Structure 1
Amino acid sequence: MQLSACIEWQFAEAGDDLADRLRAAHAAGLSLAEFHLWRDKNSDGIAAAMADTGVKLTGICVDPRRSIVDPVEHDEMLAAVTDTLTVARKLGSPPLIVASGFRVEGMSEAEHFANAVSVLKQAAALAEAAGVMLVLEPLNTELFATMYLVSTKLGLDIVEAVDSPNLRLLYDVYHSRVMGEDVREVLAGRTHLVAHVQVAGWPGRNEPGTGDLDYAEVMRVLADLCYTGPIGLEYFPTVDSVTSIARAREALGG
């Protein structure tokens, strides 16, 4: 099992510098890590820590976040992709995480979808030229009440419509559960479009194994559906990070 530490939230014991957190994740036996926005981070230090440890990144966010459904923000969204691709190059060219942005009042569902597909086709072309994967992430309405993309099915529909090998889905089990989705139902037949999976306990967004989500069953379903990619540990630890990761690994069956 390929576990990826979210050093945005984990290994805080090592300090605020994500380079130090990455080294701490490596010392805890992890070879993969991920974080969120990059503009406020020491990317040179993170790159040095990656070189020292061999840890690879499974994802960073396109920064700044801009809407894929509001045409007014499309130029800024594509500029953000371009900037993030430049930074990603020195970080091993990890997948770049894209969120949708918020619904536009008065815009039809068809227009939202068409706008998303249009700009993501352009963004995927930029990513393809750079040899990088974009991953589109559905979120949830409890966290963002008017977010456009809060459905795994819709996210997969968008990925299929864009039809690029450089755009895939990030499936977050926690967000999906908040939205009342069933893992097997929403991924069946389309797991090949998923490049990354993130996990957290529900409710609470703490370690897998906390709350009511049966992660042993989730992992069995993912295996049945032939998902073999990394598992991102995007949760808030309730104990020290080394203990937390060990508990998460046990709950996930790894």
Structure 2
Amino acid sequence: MPRFAANLTMMFSEVGFMDRFAAAAGAGFDAVEYLFPYAFDAHRIADALQRNGLTQALFNLPPGNWDAGERGLAALPDRQDDFRASVRTALAYASATGVGRVHVMSGLADRADPIAHKTYRASLAYLCDAAGATGLDVLIEPINPRDMPGYFLNDFNQAADLIAEMALPNLKLQFDIYHRQIIHGDVLTGLRELMPIIGHVQIAAVPLRNEPGTGELDDARILRELDALKYDGFVGLEYRPAGDTVAGLSWLTALR
């Protein structure tokens, strides 16, 4: 089975965020991810990782004003100063936590707008250059329009074409199985075709985003396919537990 990373934004919500590191370690995890760490001091997070023997698998760049509805800045031409500031912030947290990859959200923008496309490419080039200097991979993730209407990057083919065209060695795909199923379906074929550019995988049951194995997909078979494809990265458990987090981990115990 792959190496799993507990998503601390969604899992272990029974306790406060800084207590979730110990909770994840106590449940048998050796890696974690989350959406955004920026409400907490980077060195405090680094200490929690070290004390609990955890690897930081992933986090996102600052998304702009999340509470006001922003979902990333990379494709927004009038927010490029803020985007570059967000890069500096994310790289400081990356340095403190030792994370190897960061996800950058595109933002809400019209896919038919050529200025948004130009801005997005420029943002990715800037971030990949800055991140590459420290050995970081940059991930882009298509997000389905049902959960996030208006999101600029909402197609796996678009993401794959962009990665091929830009040919940046540290620009990779974040393959979220939940989003893939909702956008395109054909999850196994997608994994097989896109594996050379995949830098991170996430999983949740479709359609309710609860524990794997509780939805319409054979998640256990998908995870076995990752082994067959020799995927050696993390699988982020970006799901919302239907009840108590630890009780809900029975699906993972059964796999092992």
Q: TM-score, normalised by structure 2?
A: 0.89
Name 2:194's counterpart in structure 1: 190
Name 1:218's counterpart in structure 2: 222
Please state if 1:120 is matched with 2:124. Answer: yes
> CA 1:186–1:106 in 2, change beyond 3 Å: closer, same or farther?
closer
Name 2:173's counterpart in structure 1: 169
Name 1:76's counterpart in structure 2: 82
The one of 199, 208, 211 aligned to 1:207: 211
Please state if 1:3 is matched with 2:1. Answer: no
Name 1:91's counterpart in structure 2: 97
Q: Secondary structure at the match of 1:188?
A: helix
Question: Would you say the 8 A contact 1:98–1:136 is kept in 2?
Answer: yes
What is the CA–CA distance in structure 2 between the aligned matches of 1:242 and 1:45, rounded to whole Å? 25
Deviates more, 1:44-53 or 1:98-107: 98-107
Superposed structure 1 runs of 4+ greater than 6 Å apart: none
TM superposition shift of 1:42: 4.0
Structure 2 portions without partners, runs of 5+:
65-71
TM superposition shift of 1:234: 0.4
The one of 130, 134, 141 aligned to 1:137: 141
What is the CA–CA distance in structure 2 between the aligned matches of 1:141 and 1:245, rounded to whole Å? 29
What is the CA–CA distance in structure 1 between the aligned matches of 2:80 and 2:165, rounded to whole Å? 18
> CA 1:232–1:249 in 2, change beyond 3 Å: closer, same or farther?
farther
Identity of aligned residues (%): 29
Question: Would you say the 8 A contact 2:6–2:24 is kept in 1?
Answer: yes
Q: What residue identity is the alignment partner of 1:147?
A: Y
Q: What residue identity is the alignment partner of 1:148?
A: F
> CA 1:105–1:152 in 2, change beyond 3 Å: closer, same or farther?
closer
TM superposition shift of 1:248: 3.6
What is the CA–CA distance in structure 2 between the aligned matches of 1:239 and 1:247, rounded to whole Å? 13
What is the CA–CA distance in structure 2 between the aligned matches of 1:214 and 1:190, rounded to whole Å? 19
Post-superposition CA distance 1:51-108 (Å, at most 9, x none): 1122011111101343322322233222211111012211113411111112238624
State how many pairs are aligned. 248
What is the CA–CA distance in structure 2 between the aligned matches of 1:176 and 1:125, rounded to whole Å? 28
TM superposition shift of 1:45: 2.4
Q: Secondary structure at the match of 2:19?
A: helix
Structure 1 portions without partners, runs of 5+:
none
Considering only aligned residues, what root-mean-square deviation do their CA atoms show, in Å? 1.9
What is the CA–CA distance in structure 2 between the aligned matches of 1:195 and 1:106, rounded to whole Å? 27
TM superposition shift of 1:131: 2.0
Name 1:107's counterpart in structure 2: 113
What is the CA–CA distance in structure 1 between the aligned matches of 2:136 and 2:81, rounded to whole Å? 20
What is the CA–CA distance in structure 2 between the aligned matches of 1:114 and 1:186, rounded to whole Å? 26
Question: Would you say the 8 A contact 1:134–1:168 is kept in 2?
Answer: yes
Name 1:181's counterpart in structure 2: 185
Question: Would you say the 8 A contact 2:77–2:116 is kept in 1?
Answer: no
TM superposition shift of 1:120: 0.5
